[in-house]
Amino acid sequence: MPETFTEWDSTFTVDDSWFRPTGTLVFGVVRADVFAVGVYTDGERVDYAGFETDVKSDHSKGGFSQGRFERIRNEQIDDHLDDARELLAETVEDADPDRTILTGGKSVLPELAELADHTATTDAGGKPLDALEHAFADFWSTRVVRI
């Protein structure tokens, strides 16, 4: 967020960094089954990595209990988040960014939040690269209201 200011002028004061990525930025998106991270220089992606993990999503009627299904699913998500944490940390170390932004699902975002300067929820879906592009566009979109 920009610092609060009040000034009277004949034009608006709008800094590019309030609405567009500037400098070197690591930007990621995390879901329970998808992780993607990109390195951006002045808004242009210069590097990308991502992966998708097969996480159980449906419980069949037979075979094992709902409790066991949930345990297995939670273990799969935990393993996925461990891999995502490792990739994000490596990307940040290699890129030495001005800032790191992580977006994602409400349930998993807090698990990696300590690695980011800023976090935001998103409903970005699809394969890793598609999710990254969707989340990036969502994060850098601004609603302008005119009175």
Structural domains counted in the chain: 1
* Residues 26-69: tens digit of each pLDDT: 999 999 999 999 999 999 999 999 999 987 665 555 555 777 87
CB contact at 8 A, 132 and 57 = no
* Residues 58-89: tens digit of each pLDDT: 555 555 577 787 888 888 899 999 999 999 99
Structural domain range at position 30: 23-139
Phi, psi of 12 (to 5 degrees): -80, 150
CB contact at 8 A, 53 and 73 = no
| Exposure string for 42-71, b = 16+ CB within 10 A, e = fewer | eeebeeebbeebebeeeeeeeeeeeeeeee
Report the CATH number at residue 82.
3.30.420.60
Asked, for residue 33, whether it belongs to a domain, the answer is yes
